[in-house]
């Protein structure tokens, strides 16, 4: 065989392996089918259909109101978790952050003086207002996220270890600050406004047709849209994806990698703080055990929705739909009369299934 024929056979083989350029430009339909969040949405719709047929109680307005509110707390955290996962990181401390923020809010709203605070703090009125609770709660969350981010981005410690340490430290702080009490004896005027934030519905408006949507769910919807826009349309979003794709490349091309990472962790902790504020408002009490093991649910939601724990992939809608699926599974199992202790098994199976799906898609892509 002459060299020339060898070369042309080689080229043909190469072109077989490397199909025409246009074949790689995916159509809209193909892109939808390749999208994990799309399949999760289908699974969710099917599950809701089956449940409505089988258990008419499932399709009631009340149950819809409850499910959407229940998954909103985890949904908000999953949204915050998403940029962190896209950068290739993880935040295990969000559950504990919820506990700390709940206690901070509870202490501000508490009727009784706090013995370890100075006299002027206990005497003043503004230090016990609903907005003070809100501000201090968010500040506490931001500080946790900032410490996480600085240790990870500037000191260069692995995210898993830093946030695992924070999980323990922050929970302990919550127990110490609360002196291991549950806080519920709130200053009635201020607490009423605070409870309205997390416990109210329709943001206080009347919706046509008597539709009822909880405030936490509405906030989740707004934040999903906002995060979706930020990830798609801002250079910050682009940089988050770039860091997850190739951190060194991002650095070399002038992306402020460390700053973006810190911002991602602050955002993540802020989302946990917001979830805690909504939760305290809804339940009317602050418990230092709030959010225990929620970090796993938040991470699971994002992963089920298509976020890749190796970094570089994830969407706001995925976090939303992932958390919805987890809570519909839980709700369905309860209604089906399955012992609630089995829930973890089903949720766990779905997490593994989601990652298997991701692997299969990844192999097809190569």
Partner 1 sequence: MPVLELQGISKHFGAIHALTEVDMLLEPGEALGVMGDNGAGKSTLVKIIAGNFPPTGGEIRIEGQSVHFSKPVEAREKGIEIVYQDLALCDNLSAADNVFLGREIKSGIGPIRWLNHAAMVKRAGELFSELKSETRPRHLVRQMSGGQRQAVAIARTRLSNPKIVLMDEPTAAISVRQVAEVLDLIRRLRDHGIGVVLISHRMPDVFAVCDRVMVMRRGRKVADKMIKDSSPEEVTGLITGAIHVA
By CB under 8 A, name the one of 289, 312, 333, 357 that touches partner 1.
312
CB of 14 vs partner 1, minimal distance in Å? 7
CA-nearest of 278, 256, 255, 258 to 266 is 258
* CB nearer to partner 1: pick between 51 and 260: 260
Q: Does 16 bind partner 1 (CB under 8 A)?
A: no
As given in the structure block, the two tokens for residue 97 are 């952050």
Place of tokens 């898993």: 160
Q: Are 273 and 138 in contact (CB under 8 A)?
A: yes
Q: Where are the beta strands (DSSP E) in the chain?
A: none
26/111 with CB nearer partner 1:
26
To partner 1, the closest distance from the beta carbon of 16 in angstroms equals: 13
Among 234, 334, 348, 353, binds partner 1 (CB under 8 A): 234
Residue 29 binds partner 1, judged by CB under 8 A: no
Q: Rounded to the nearest whole angstrom, what is the least distance from the CB of residue 300 to partner 1 in the complex?
A: 22
Binding residue for partner 1, selected from 52, 127, 193, 246, defined by CB under 8 A: 246
The residue within the footprint of partner 1, chosen from 91, 201, 295, 313 (CB under 8 A), is: 313
The residue within the footprint of partner 1, chosen from 235, 344, 348, 349 (CB under 8 A), is 235
Confirm or reject binding of residue 127 to partner 1 (CB under 8 A): no
Please, is 153 exposed, middle or buried when counting C-beta atoms within 10 Å of its C-beta (0-12, 13-18, 19+)?
buried
CB of 281 to partner 1, least distance (A): 30
Could you say whether residue 228 binds partner 1 (CB under 8 A)?
Answer: no
Q: Which long-range contacts (CB under 8 A, 24 or more apart) does 187-195 make?
A: 187/109, 187/110, 187/111, 187/128, 190/109, 190/128, 190/129, 190/130, 190/133, 191/109, 191/130, 191/284, 193/130, 194/105, 194/109, 194/130, 194/133, 194/134, 194/280, 194/281, 195/281, 195/282, 195/284
Stretch that binds partner 1, among 61-69, 105-113, 115-123, 228-236 (CB under 8 A): 228-236
Name the residues that contact partner 1, by CB under 8 A. Answer: 11, 14, 18, 21, 24-25, 232-235, 238-239, 241-242, 244-246, 248-250, 252-255, 312-313, 365
């Amino acid at each position: 065989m002459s060299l020339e024929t060898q070369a042309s056979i080689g080229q043909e083989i190469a072109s077989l392996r490397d199909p025409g350029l246009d074949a790689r430009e995916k159509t809209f339909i193909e892109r939808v089918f390749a999208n994990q969040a799309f399949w999760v949405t289908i699974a969710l719709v099917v599950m809701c259909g089956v449940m409505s047929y089988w258990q008419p109680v499932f399709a009631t307005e009340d149950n819809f109101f409850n499910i959407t509110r229940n998954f909103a707390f985890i949904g908000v955290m999953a949204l915050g978790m998403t940029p962190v996962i896209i950068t290739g990181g993880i935040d295990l401390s969000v559950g504990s952050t919820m506990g700390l923020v709940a206690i901070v809010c509870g202490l501000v709203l508490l009727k009784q003086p706090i013995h370890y605070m100075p006299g002027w703090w206990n005497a003043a009125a503004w230090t016990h207002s609903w907005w003070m609770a809100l501000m201090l709660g968010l500040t506490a969350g931001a500080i946790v996220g900032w410490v996480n981010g600085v240790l990870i981005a500037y000191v260069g410690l692995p995210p898993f270890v830093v946030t695992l340490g924070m999980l323990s430290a922050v929970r302990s702080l919550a127990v110490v600050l609360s002196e291991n009490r549950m806080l519920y004896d709130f200053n009635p005027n201020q607490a009423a406004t605070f409870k309205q934030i997390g416990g109210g519905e329709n943001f206080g408006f009347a919706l046509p047709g008597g539709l009822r949507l909880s405030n936490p769910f509405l906030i989740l919807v707004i934040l999903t849209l906002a995060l979706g826009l930020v990830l798609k349309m801002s250079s910050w979003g682009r940089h988050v994806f770039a860091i997850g794709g190739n951190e060194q490349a991002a650095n070399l091309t002038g992306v402020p990698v460390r700053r973006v990472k810190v911002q991602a962790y602050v955002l993540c902790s802020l989302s946990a703080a917001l979830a805690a504020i909504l939760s305290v408002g809804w339940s009317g009490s602050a418990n230092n055990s709030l959010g225990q093991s929620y970090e796993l649910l938040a991470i699971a939601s994002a992963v089920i929705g298509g976020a890749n724990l190796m970094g570089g992939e994830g969407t706001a809608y995925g976090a939303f739909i992932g958390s919805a699926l987890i809570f519909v599974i839980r709700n369905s199992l309860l209604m089906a009369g399955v012992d609630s202790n089995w829930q973890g098994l089903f949720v766990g199976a779905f997490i593994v299934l989601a990652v298997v799906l991701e692997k299969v898609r990844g192999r097809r892509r190569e």
